[in-house]
A and B are shown apart, each in its own frame.
Chain A
Amino acid sequence: MSQAAEPMQTVHAVTQTPYKWGFSTDIEMELAPKGLNADIIRLISARKEEPEWLLEWRLKAFAAWQAMAEPHWAHVAHPPIDYQDLHYYAAPKRKPGPASLAEVDPALLATYEKLGIPLKERAILAGVEPAEGEGAPVAVDAVFDSVSVATTFRATLAKAGVIFCPISEAVREHPDLVRKYLGSVVPQGDNFYAALNSAVFTDGSFVYVPPGVRCPMELSTYFRINARNTGQFERTLIIADVGSYVSYLEGCTAPQRDENQLHAAVVELIALDDAQIKYSTVQNWYPGDAEGRGGIYNFVTKRGACRGARSKISWTQVETGSAITWKYPSCILQGDDSVGEFYSVAVTTNRQQADTGTKMIHIGRNTRSTIVSKGISAGRSDNTYRGLVRIMPKAAGARNHTQCDSLLIGDRCGAHTVPYIESRNPTARVEHEATTSKIAEDQLFYCRQRGLSEEDAVNLIVNGFCKDVLKELPMEFAVEAQKLLAVSLEGSVG
């Protein structure tokens, strides 16, 4: 029963503070004026000391965005967003290159302490390189509002030949790689929010793993929205060269505010021959209060291209936060025998709305994909799985299996499933299964009868329901995810 006990401790610990990451940091910020126009884009580009080609690239995206309309096909509803009422650039003011902890803004350090990132790492986050051999096994890139504030373990990674740095730095240090791959998976005009991101993105992580290298540690980015009235538009680009492997983790939080904040990120993954990318997300943006006030609009485009033969991209996500989630991590399976995976747990409570799923585009021969989606709706929330499996004519021998389960807790919420299956090759095999149910009375009874409280019982059952996804997460993340599930559902039972 220890599986249930641990989440429950967390539940009790947070009873008074339902969203414990809801503080904001009072830190000196540099803000661009509100609004979006070509001049703001020039300002962002100038602040980041970008080359001319990137400015052109951004302006092209901006032109495309202006000609596009906001999409409304998702099963979500929100008041109109005024895109001119946002700051498109916000950065903590910092003197260049702090040599020691003393030079780092103490408020920034305090933020990471509150977020629970270990002290040693915080020192690193603040820009102090660790002594060899004593580091935590995870390299972290922390993005505070629009800019990357610190990246850890750079030296260790450099020894292996792995590049892990803020994308703004990659533009300067590795322009050929960035220019070759940026926008090659998600083009500037791909969709409304991707176009917006392409025009105004300010930072994000860049990863390049050279041929044959197995990245020696997990890479991680920690996103934090802090400033008021800002949007966060980060851009992540991960390239796994021939025969390489990398596991990448992403975590996110934001302060608790009554107004909504926009997060429109783009993530591009590229896997060449025999390369593997494992991308895990625990998304815990501020979801708004019980009445649906405030919270993050999480409108994200994530897509991976399995360019090479036998390459593999695996997405795992645990989505508990955000007022609205609109997100479909996808795999384009171009290389023969390439593999795409999508494992997702999406929890919505109160007034949250989630419309999330994946796309698996089978282009190469013998390509395989697996989709496991677990949706949990509670309170007055709406939770939609929307997924596409497309088999192109040349994808002989392609194979997909999709399992989509929804769990309803309470009678005021909604659970929806919208799969799209398109097959144009007779030798392909596609299977889709979906179920919707509530927690069975007999399961609850069985647990209660063995002395578990109702809340413990529900947690145990929910954890079991999500097991197929949670087991895909790296260990540290799996523990955090289990706690999050318990916290998210706290109060929605009984």
Chain B
Amino acid sequence: MNAVTQLQPAWLRDGAAAFVARYEGLRDRLPGDAAARDAGAAAFRARGLPGVRDEAWHYTSLRPLVETRFAEPLTPVADCAALMTRLPQIDAPRLVFVDGRFRDDLSVVPSGASVRVGGPAYGALAQPGREPLVALNTMLAEDGAAIEVAAGADAGTLLLASVGIGGSPDRPVAFHPRHALNLGDSARLTLIEVAIGEGAYLHNPVFEITVGAAATLTHLRLQDESRAAFHISTLYADVAQRGSYDSFALTLGARLARLEVHARLAGRGATAHLNAVQLLGGTQHGDFTTVVTHDAPSCISRQTVKNVLTGRARGVFQGKIEVARDAQKTDGYQMNQALLLSTEAEVDSKPQLEIYADDVKCSHGATVGELDAEQLFYLRSRGIAEADARAMLVRAFLADALDPIAHEAGRVVLESAVAQWWERQAA
């Protein structure tokens, strides 16, 4: 063990060692680019797993994950027909991964894009040297989709689904899918990404996306994993000039979840929208972490992030806007708001600006509070039942993040997921 991991507590080192042992056992059987995989393994050995002393993981402890010993998913995987009915019923081609492996029999390959599966789709954006969970993914990735949309093409809507059937609580499994999407110049795509599941498992996907010049990617994400699952996902998006990466992420599921997004505005006039909602209850822990890098002049970034927390849930938001020396005329805005609906919920928020250019307009705002008693009273005084009034106010609180979703079918899926979550809380 090297100097970094030496300072870590033993349990964290042991957790990392278990993953390394898995890699050593599997190494010769894993498909794809062996050099990329070995580089990932070297990075993982050097860094290990992050502890709360790592600034980027200050609010999210991986202890429950580290204390779980994961087995390999079973092959061939069991039947999952019941779970499949929980996938959004939208009329679009779909790529379905079960326990991290592509399932041809459940998928409908799109006509507007080319897709390659059967091994990890390593791209050029991921930083295994910086992000330990990305190193872990790179080391152990078995499958993934490489999606290519040709320049000028409108590829319509595509559903990318992950179904975790994991195992029984005493035999949790871990899978690390590795996806890549390359959107050609002036191309268009709406990608709806859904993660659902049952039982205990770790889902640790890494997704690398390049958006070409003047291309537009709309990325709608729903994380509704099993409440016994761990979901740690990392996404990289590079946006070329006048390109647009427009994303919305809804986090509902998992025992411990982290959604990490690194968006880089690489060409003049590029745009990124990273909106998100986390609805968490019970003892759930949800972390939404973003790094938006303005690397070119005249780019625009917008983030609206909402946390609603009940029970003993803990919601985390970390959002960093970096503006490079040459990125003059940057326009960056970030708003982060949290609603605490119970006495034991906790929210931690770290909006962050790191600015090296002077001709910029960057701002962020953050608020934390409970439902406004006066607003509740106003609704009650008009004969609206308390539960309905609360639902109405929570929905209104989410409006800034939900309403900009232009894709009709996608919005219906996300809206109904929000409504169902609220009904479950009320019940």
Q: Which of A415, A417, A426 makes the CB contact (< 8 A) with B364?
A: A417
Decide: B353 and A417 in contact? CB cutoff 8 A.
Answer: yes
Interchain CB contact under 8 A, B345 and A417: no
Whether A432 touches B351, Cβ cut-off 8 Å, given contacts A408-B358, A417-B364, A426-B340, is yes
Query: Contact string, A393-418, partner B, CB cutoff 8 A, digits 1/0?
Result: 10000000000001011111111111
Complex: A391 Cα to B338 Cα, angstroms: 14
| Contact (Cβ within 8 A) B351 A434 | yes
Interface of chain B residues 309 through 346 with chain A (CB within 8 A): 325, 328, 338, 340-346
B352 is an interface residue with CB less than 8 A from chain A: yes
Give me 10 other A-B pairs in contact (C-beta within 8 A), A419-B350, A425-B343 excluded.
A411-B328, A416-B353, A419-B351, A422-B348, A423-B338, A426-B341, A429-B368, A434-B363, A435-B363, A437-B361
Interface: B423 (CB within 8 A)? no
| Pick from A409, A422, A425: contact of B358, CB under 8 Å | A409
Given A423-B338, A426-B340, A426-B370, also A416-B347 (CB < 8 A): no
In contact, B342 and A426 (Cβ under 8 angstroms): yes
B residues near A419, Cβ cutoff 8 Å: 349-352, 366
Q: Is the CB of A423 within 8 A of B350?
A: no
Q: Which residues of A contact B355 (CB under 8 A)?
A: 406, 408, 414-416, 436
| Secondary structure of the A contact surface, majority rule | strand
Within 117-151 of A, Cβ neighbours of B (below 8 Å) are at none
Name the distance in Å between A403's Cβ and chain B's nearest Cβ: 10
Q: Please measure, in the bound complex, the distance between the C-alpha atom of A168 and the C-alpha atom of B363, giving whole angstroms.
A: 47
> Could you pull out 20 A-B pairs where Cβ atoms are within 8 angstroms?
A391-B368, A408-B355, A408-B360, A409-B358, A413-B356, A414-B356, A416-B352, A417-B364, A418-B350, A419-B349, A422-B349, A423-B338, A425-B343, A426-B343, A428-B368, A430-B368, A434-B353, A434-B364, A435-B363, A438-B360
Bitwise, A420-446 to B at CB < 8 A (1) or not (0) is: 111111111111111111100000000
Q: How far is the CA of A430 from the CA of B365 in the complex (A)?
A: 11
> Interface on A for B, CB 8 Å cutoff?
73, 391, 393, 406, 408-438
**Contact across chains for B362 and A435 when beta carbons are under 8 A apart:** yes
The docked-state distance in angstroms from the alpha carbon of A288 to that of B308 is 48
Contacts of B344 in A (CB 8 A): 393, 424
Q: How far is the CB of A252 from chain B (nearest CB, A)?
A: 29
A378 to B328, CA, bound (A): 16
Q: Residue B354 at the A interface, CB < 8 A?
A: yes
Beta-carbon nearest neighbor of B343 in chain A: A426
A427 shortest CB reach to chain B, Å? 6
In the complex formed, the residue of B with least CB distance to A416 is B354
Contact B353 A420 (CB under 8 A): no
B111 sits at the interface (CB 8 A): no
CA distance A424 to B340 in the complex (A): 8
Give A417 to B354 CA distance when docked, in angstroms. Answer: 7
Q: Which of A415, A421, A426 contacts B353 (CB 8 A)?
A: A415
Chain A residues near B361 (CB-CB < 8 A): 436-437
10 smallest A-B Cβ distances: which pairs? Answer: A426-B340, A408-B358, A432-B366, A426-B370, A430-B368, A417-B353, A421-B349, A435-B363, A423-B368, A436-B362
Assess whether B400 is interfacial by the CB under 8 Å rule: no
- Given the complex of chains A and B, what is the CA–CA distance between A436 and B353 in angstroms? 8
Q: How far is the CA of A389 from the CA of B382 in the complex (A)?
A: 37
Q: A408-B355, A419-B351, A422-B347 are in contact. Are A431 and B55 (CB under 8 A)?
A: no
- Does B357 sit within 8 A of A, measured CB to CB? yes
From the candidates B340, B346, B357, name the one contacting A411 in the complex (CB within 8 A). B357
Closest to A422 in B: B348
- Whether, in the assembled complex, B383 has its beta carbon less than 8 Å from a beta carbon of chain A, the answer is no
Residues of A close to B362: CB separation below 8 A: 435-437
Q: Which single residue of chain A is at the shortest CB-CB distance from B369?
A: A429
Q: Is the CB of B342 within 8 A of A410?
A: no
With A411-B325, A423-B340 as known contacts, state yes or no: A430 contacts B352, CB within 8 Å: no
Min CB–CB distance B327 → chain A (angstroms) = 11
How many angstroms between the C-alpha atoms of A414 and B325 in the bound complex?
9
Q: Shortest Cβ distance from B321 into chain A, in angstroms?
A: 9
- B92 CB, min distance to chain A CBs, angstroms: 39
- A410-B358 in contact (CB<8A): yes
Asked if B2 is at the interface of the complex by the 8 Å CB criterion, the answer is: no
Asked if B367 lies at the interface with its beta carbon under 8 angstroms from chain A, I say yes
Chain B min CB distance to A128 (Å): 52
Given that A421-B350, A434-B365, A436-B353 are contacting pairs, would A427 and B370 also be in contact in the complex, using a CB cutoff of 8 Å?
yes
Q: A414-B355, A415-B353, A426-B341 are in contact. Are A421 and B360 (CB under 8 A)?
A: no
Q: Which residues of A contact B350 (CB under 8 A)?
A: 418-421
Give bound CA distance, A410 to B328, whole Å: 12
> Considering the chains assembled together, what is the distance between the CA atoms of A146 and B306 in angstroms?
51
Task: Name A384's closest neighbour in chain B (CB-CB).
Answer: B354
Interface string of B29-55 (1 = CB under 8 A from A): 000000000000000000000000001
Asked whether, in the complex, the Cβ of A421 is within 8 Å of the Cβ of B343, the reply is: no
Contacts of A428 in B (CB 8 A): 368-369
Nearest A residue to B350, CB-CB = A420
| B342 surroundings in chain A (CB, below 8 A) | 426
Chain B residues whose C-beta falls within 8 Å of the C-beta of A416 in the assembled complex: 352-355
Alpha-carbon distance between A413 and B364 when the two chains are bound, in angstroms: 20
B residues near A426, Cβ cutoff 8 Å = 340-343, 345, 369-370
